[in-house]
């Protein structure tokens, strides 16, 4: 079994637009410097979101993904959102193959997910061990173990907006 969940139309076009427009309008105001300069001022963390409507959408997404992961890959155990952010990708940007649970800071992450908010050219999430590429399609969600190597092909045209989230079994690391 390939340990990847992929579900189209996970989020409605209206909700994708609401998150995408919030990201574009507020990333300069709410974005921050990141320990990884690649992400500095390109993301808005869940904790920084100051729109009730956007928070409600994000909460619903996180709850649904945690349930899908619990039932589909985790064997029914409780999962908690550990970190969530809205991320802006511009033309030419990509990401090398990596894992999301590397020590010393992220070994508690059990699962990762990406929810595409926009459709664009290029920018597919790739899983080389499985020969799978998932192109950005607004509303499509993918979720997988944080230990699975993955990356992002270069974005060729458009803007790639995503809602990225990570999940843990450790209630003490739950994002609030």
In a domain, 149, yes or no: yes
Mean pLDDT across the stretch 38-63?
94
pLDDT of residue 54: 98
CATH number at residue 45: 2.60.120.620
Q: Is residue 88 part of a domain?
A: yes
Tell me the helix, strand and coil percentages in the chain, rounded to 5. Answer: 25, 30, 40
Cα separation, 101 vs 5, whole angstroms = 18
156 within some domain: yes
Structure confidence by residue, pLDDT tens digits, 85-123: 999 999 999 999 999 999 999 999 999 999 999 999 999
Arithmetic mean of pLDDT over the chain: 95
Backbone φ, ψ for residue 52 (5° rounding): -60, -45
Asked if residue 112 is part of any domain, the answer here is: yes
Domain housing 113: 5-170
The residue among 87, 101, 115, 86 whose CA lies nearest residue 169 is: 101
Structural domain contains residue 13: yes
Q: Is residue 122 part of a domain?
A: yes
Which pLDDT does position 38 carry in this prediction?
80
Residue 176 lies in a domain: no
93 within a domain of the structure (yes/no): yes
> What HEC string does 13-73 produce?
HHHHHHHHHHHHHHHHHHCCCCCCHHHCCCEEEHHHCCCHHHHHHHHHHHHHHHHHHHHHC
Work out how many domains the chain is built from and give that number: 1
Tell me the pLDDT tens digit for each residue of 112-170.
999 999 999 999 999 999 999 999 999 999 999 999 999 999 999 999 999 999 999 99
């Amino acid at each position: 079994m390939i340990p990847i969940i992929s579900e189209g139309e996970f989020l409605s076009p209206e909700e994708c637009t609401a998150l995408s427009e919030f990201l574009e309008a507020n990333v300069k105001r709410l974005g921050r410097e990141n320990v990884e300069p690649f992400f500095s001022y390109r993301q808005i963390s869940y904790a920084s979101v100051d729109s009730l409507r956007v928070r409600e959408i994000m909460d619903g997404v996180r709850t649904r993904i945690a349930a899908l992961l619990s039932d589909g890959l985790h064997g029914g155990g409780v999962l908690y959102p550990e970190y969530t952010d809205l991320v802006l990708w511009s033309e030419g940007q990509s990401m090398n193959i990596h894992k999301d649970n590397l020590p010393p800071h992220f070994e508690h992450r059990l699962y990762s997910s990406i929810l595409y908010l926009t459709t664009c050219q290029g920018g597919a999430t790739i899983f080389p061990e499985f020969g799978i590429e998932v192109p950005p399609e607004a509303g499509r969600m993918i979720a997988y173990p944080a230990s699975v190597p993955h990356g992002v092909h270069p974005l060729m045209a458009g803007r790639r907006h995503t809602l990225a989230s990570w999940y843990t079994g450790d209630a003490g690391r739950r994002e609030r």
